[in-house]
Amino acid sequence: MVAASPRCELLCKKFRLGSFEIPYVDENQVSLPSDSARDLAKEVALQSIVLLENRGILPLDASKEPKVAVIGPTADDQLAMFSGYSFPVHLIVANMQEERVQYAKTPLQALTERFGSNNVRYAKGCDILTERRPQAPVFPGDVDSDIAAGSKRTSPISRSISRIQDAADCARQSDVAIVFVGDLAGLFQTGTAGEGSDTDNL
């Protein structure tokens, strides 16, 4: 007896469902993005958050006008709000900086709206990448072609700590500090997590 591979099982199910007879959906029946899809995405995001400890700090009361320090390299980077196969990150939109296309509200924007610009201080602290390059190679073969053409590929990971003191000062001058750190998804050195972009050092 030979066990069927997962791919074979998947194809068999598609045949049974008739996916190959009617391979395309009626695009007029598809409603994306819809309000219900956004509401569901928000609910999923809220339920995915894990609060490890709360010593009476949360929730912050906006009516008391707390001084909030927003710190970190992902606090004002809207691409940090997306994962690797989301549209903006997967393509690293080339004209993003030029036209300031708004794909998502950043944490800094949301916190400033909630607590007011007079009550929010921002310090980036450091960069994750020295440069977020658009139009990266899309496939491994593209990377090989660049190397063959003499293109020198160096790590874009930033190691500068020159702005850490600014972030520490920002925190000291505030009632509460909210720090945003993490990886940036992206293909082939346009990020620190994703195809061809995984970093070996935190």
**Residue 131 or residue 174, greater confidence:** 174
68 has pLDDT over 90: yes
Q: Which residue type, as a one-letter code, is found at position 146? A: D
The predicted model gives 103-119 an average pLDDT of: 94
| Predicted TM-score (pTM) of this structure | 0.72
Model confidence over 3-44: pLDDT tens digits? 556 667 888 888 888 878 776 777 787 777 788 888 998 899
Q: Can you spell out the DSSP letters for 82-120? A: S-TTSHHHHHT-TTHHHHT--SS--HHHHHHHHH-TTTE
Tell me the C-alpha to C-alpha distance, in Å, between residue 12 and each of 2, 4, 8, 22, 145: 16, 10, 6, 15, 38
Q: What is the pLDDT of residues 130-157, one digit of tens each?
A: 877 666 655 666 666 666 666 666 677 8
Helix (H) or strand (E) holding 8: helix 6-17
